[in-house]
């Protein structure tokens, strides 16, 4: 295959005898450049028009005698630090490139000579997602998945649109009040972009078998529902049967949280439950507690909160579906304290030796 290396659109700073590559905001690569040859090579690579075999001639025009082997080593080193793309035809049609321009430029961060941004996009375009819930988080995740060009989303919910939903569920409008949320969500997706096939299922999730039936063929499950009370354990078991990961999140008081499970790889939700039981056994005072007044179900998710949560969950789902980078929340409890200076925490939990799934 004819590979044409191209420098990513990054900042390049030249100092005496040195070049600095700013691949990301907080990441810099320093290269010695005593004679200016590195700067010249970077200028050539920025054009994205020559193979490695053609680089020596281009460098000769700029006054530097180099061999093809030297150029191959230099290109390999630059690719290792993540500053090169593969130029040329990416196989996407012009309409797809126009619509997904910003998505493709995001994928540039993770692309290299071995995998193009278009290939990351194709990973999303071939994805099949089971989305449980069409409320604040679920409808927001749907919007992100459609914007990313996901291939298929099966959205499941039993609720109807109410006027109070309009404060934070932006896939719905006043004309949708009284309609099943899944029907309104499917209509929104069709209006926004018909490239994603959205299947609506007006049903209540209640058991593992039902989730498994809904998830046949899915690449990933997003759990955006909070009932029944043990729904995360149900989804956890179902995803072990399906052999696919799942991502979830929510809001407790003013704490936004999200986490994910990769069956057979990360610790699972059952592990977390068993770990908590073990902690209770080690701390008898916890077992002696009783609830005097239950908090009840109060939804404090404003529009910005729902969008933040949906964004974090959709980003994690995207890592699984495209393989840009490793999931950050697999067996890791992430929190954002909305009423405490936006303080963030991450707490991994270990596999529990008593877990019947892991």
Taken in order 43, 45, 46, 49, the sign of the CA dihedral is positive
The mean pLDDT value for 155-166 works out to: 98
CA dihedral 159, 162, 165, 170 (to 10 degrees): 90
pLDDT over 60 (residue 283): no
Nearest by Cα to 168 from 306, 286, 293: 306
Please give the share of the chain, as a percent, with pLDDT higher than 70.
Answer: 96
> For 20-60, what is each residue's pLDDT tens digit?
999 988 899 999 999 999 999 999 999 999 999 999 999 99
| CA–CA gap between residue 299 and residue 5 (Å, rounded) | 51
| CA–CA gap between residue 339 and residue 358 (Å, rounded) | 36
298: pLDDT confidence band, cut at 50, 70 and 90? confident
The mean pLDDT value for 99-111 works out to: 97
- Tell me the average pLDDT of the chain: 95
| CA–CA gap between residue 244 and residue 239 (Å, rounded) | 5
1: pLDDT confidence band, cut at 50, 70 and 90? low
- What's the confidence (pLDDT) of residue 130? 99
> For 182-235, what is each residue's pLDDT tens digit?
999 999 999 999 999 999 999 999 999 999 999 999 999 999 999 999 999 999
Assessment of whether the complete model's pTM goes beyond 0.95 = no
Q: What is the DSSP letter of 177?
A: T
| CA–CA gap between residue 30 and residue 50 (Å, rounded) | 24
pLDDT over 90 (residue 102): yes
The alpha carbon of 103 is separated from its chain's Cα centroid by a whole number of angstroms, namely 12
């Amino acid at each position: 295959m004819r590979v044409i290396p191209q420098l990513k659109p990054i900042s390049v700073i030249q100092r005496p005898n040195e070049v600095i590559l700013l691949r990301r905001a907080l990441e810099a690569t320093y290269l010695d450049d005593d004679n200016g040859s590195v700067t010249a090579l970077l200028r050539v690579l920025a054009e994205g028009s020559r193979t490695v075999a053609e680089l020596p001639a281009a460098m000769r025009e700029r006054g530097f005698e180099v061999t093809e082997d030297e150029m191959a080593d230099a290109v390999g080193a630059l690719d290792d630090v993540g500053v090169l793309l593969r130029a040329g035809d990416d196989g996407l049609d012009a309409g797809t490139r126009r619509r997904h321009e910003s998505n493709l430029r995001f994928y540039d961060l993770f692309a290299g000579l071995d995998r193009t941004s278009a290939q990351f996009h194709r990973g999303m375009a071939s994805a099949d997602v089971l989305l449980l819930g069409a409320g604040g988080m679920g409808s927001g995740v749907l919007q992100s998945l459609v914007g990313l060009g996901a291939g298929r989303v099966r959205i499941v919910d039993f609720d109807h649109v109410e006027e109070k939903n309009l404060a934070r569920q932006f896939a719905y409008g006043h004309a949708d009040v009284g309609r099943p949320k899944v029907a309104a969500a499917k209509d929104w997706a069709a209006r926004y972009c018909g490239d994603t096939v959205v299947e609506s299922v007006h049903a209540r999730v209640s058991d593992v078998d039902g989730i498994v039936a809904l998830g046949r063929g899915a690449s990933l499950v997003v759990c955006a529902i909070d009932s029944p009370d043990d729904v995360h354990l149900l989804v956890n078991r179902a995803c072990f049967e399906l052999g696919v990961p799942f991502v979830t999140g929510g809001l407790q008081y003013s704490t936004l949280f999200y986490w994910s499970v990769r069956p057979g790889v990360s610790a699972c939700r059952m592990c977390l439950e068993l770990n908590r039981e073990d902690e209770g056994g080690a701390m008898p005072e916890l077992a002696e507690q009783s609830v005097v007044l239950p908090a009840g179900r109060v939804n404090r998710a404003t529009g910005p909160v729902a969008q933040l949560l949906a964004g974090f969950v959709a980003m994690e789902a995207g890592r699984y579906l495209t393989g840009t980078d490793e999931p950050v929340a697999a067996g890791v409890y992430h929190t954002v304290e909305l009423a405490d200076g936006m303080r963030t925490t991450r707490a991994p939990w270990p596999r529990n030796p008593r877990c019947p799934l892991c």
